[in-house]
Amino acid sequence: MAQLILSAKTAQDKRKRFILCKDSQRNHLLSSQIDHKGSSEYLVIRIAVYIIINVQLSDALVTVCDRGDLLLAEERRYAIFKFIKNNGSASTEELSETFRVSESTIRRDLAFLASKNLIQRTHSGALMNTTQPEAKFLSAHSTMQAEKKKIAKKAVKFINDGEFVAFSGGTTSFMLAIEAINSRISDLTVLTNSINVSLLILESRKDFKLIVAGGLNVRGSYECVGEMTHKMIRGFNIDRFFMGANGVSQFGGISFSSFEEAEVSREAMRRSKETYVIVDHSKFEVTKRARVAALQDVTAIITDEIPAELKLRYQKTGARIID
């Protein structure tokens, strides 16, 4: 494979190295490892690259293939992370053959991912590190993805041009933000305490107005919490608040695992004309320790699908279920 090191054009670019690859097969192989750029998985990759993995772009190698596509080194690194996540482990030789790069390049990529505690190095390759919060968010995103997408498609129908909406953190809210970006909505103001949702909107093609309710960040969920977040939310009048949750039950109402995240949602509910809970069916009949609201206190609960008997039981309490 022929390689050509291109000289930097400015002093600021001197630290960057660009490699021109004359290998038409590489683009095909890599495209099979990384989902299409329009997909939610790719958007999660971008978030993981720039926020979770915190790659320094000035040190990145940019690969230019025959089709003219660009593959940043951090994209390859995340593709490697995804490969290991899907398979549980991988050897250096296996990754070298899959991604058509040298074993020394793979070893450097694995060292980088291990330095971020995303994987565990082994003598011959690497294992998935499932205890790391960054990996937990990505695993949560990939869990029940079809159901969450179905919920997001229903929820986005309640958003209209020119409105002021709020999104909580969580993977279902993340999917809803994707649906809003891909919809015909062109004029939207979004308030969120989620770093992931914020980055998603900032990187999108839509010119949405974004307001980030900043505060203390919670690792793993990437949500801002605390008095600074509450104070910012109190300054707005919101049309609709879309809230993820960890539990929905007749006894516990709408509940959260985190007290801090629950209080943020309470503040957003107080400042919103309407509140929609967006949860998949696995959250029903689950009660967590932090109660946010009674079932009848929210405008509606949007889910993918629940048994008719369970839906009727909830409706008798005054809850509106959209499935």
**Which CATH number covers residue 175?**
3.40.50.1360
When divided into structural domains, the chain yields a total of: 2
* 116, 198: one domain: no
Looking at the structure, do residues 131 and 235 belong to the same domain, yes or no?
Answer: no
Write out the residue range of the structural domain in which residue 291 sits: 143-322
Residues 48 and 160 in one domain: no
pLDDT of residue 72: 65
Block residue for tokens 């498609």: 153
- pLDDT, greater one: 196 or 32: 196
Give which of 240, 204, 242, 199 is closest to 217, Cα–Cα. Answer: 199
CA distances to 105, 125, 134, 149 from 141, rounded to whole Å, are 29, 25, 11, 10
- Which pTM does this prediction carry? 0.63
Which range is most confident: 32-41, 93-102, 105-114, 299-308?
299-308
Mean pLDDT, the chain, integer: 79
CA distance 59 to 19: 13
Q: 3-state class of 123 per DSSP?
A: coil
Last residue in a domain, options 81, 109, 137: 137
| Angle 139-140-145 from CA coordinates, rounded to 5° | 100
Do residue 223 and residue 133 come from a single domain? no
Same domain, yes or no, for 26 and 157?
Answer: no
Q: Which of 75, 71, 103, 74 is nearest to 90 (CA)?
A: 103
Residue 30 and residue 109 share a domain = yes
Asked whether the beta carbons of 186 and 224 are under 8 A apart, the reply is no
Helix locations, the chain, DSSP H: 24-33, 40-47, 73-87, 92-99, 103-115, 133-142, 145-155, 171-182, 195-202, 227-233, 259-270, 308-315
| N-terminal to C-terminal alpha carbon distance within the chain | 54
CATH no. for residue 129? 1.10.10
Give residue 158's pLDDT band: very low, low, confident or very high (50, 70, 90).
Answer: very high
**pLDDT over threshold 90, residue 252:** yes
Nearest to residue 53, comparing CAs of 128, 118, 145?
118
Alpha-carbon separation of residue 280 from 124, 183, 197, 247 (angstroms) = 39, 21, 19, 10
Distance of alpha carbon 190 from alpha carbon 211, whole angstroms: 6
The pLDDT confidence band at residue 129, using thresholds 50, 70 and 90, is: low
Residues 160 and 302 in one domain: yes
CA 317 to chain centre: 33
Comparing 37 with 86, the larger pLDDT belongs to: 86
Using DSSP's 3-state secondary structure scheme, residue 291 falls into: strand
Mean pLDDT of 203-231: 91
Q: Which two tokens stand for residue 124?
A: 């011959």
Ranking 75-79, 96-100, 275-279 by mean pLDDT, the lowest is 75-79
- Count CA within 13 A, CB hemisphere, residue 76: 27
Per-residue pLDDT, averaged over 69-94, amounts to 78
Above pLDDT 70, what percent of the chain? 73
Asked whether residue 153 falls in the same domain as residue 133, the answer is no
Residues 147 and 282 in one domain: yes
Whether 302 and 232 map to the same domain: the answer is yes
Sole residue written with tokens 């294992």: 127
Q: Whole-angstrom Cα distance, residue 86 to residue 77?
A: 14
**Last residue of some domain: 78, 103, 137?**
137
162/241 same-domain check: yes
At 232, the pLDDT band (50, 70, 90 cuts) reads very high
Single out the residue in 84, 117, 137 at which a domain terminates: 137
Q: pLDDT at position 277, please?
A: 98
pLDDT at 11 exceeding the cut of 70? no
**C-alpha to C-alpha distance for 72 and 37, rounded to whole angstroms:** 13
Nearest to 221, CA basis, from 51, 43, 27, 96: 51
**21: amino acid identity, one letter:** C
Is 65 found in the same domain as 22?
yes
**Residue 277 pairs with which residues in a beta bridge?**
243, 301
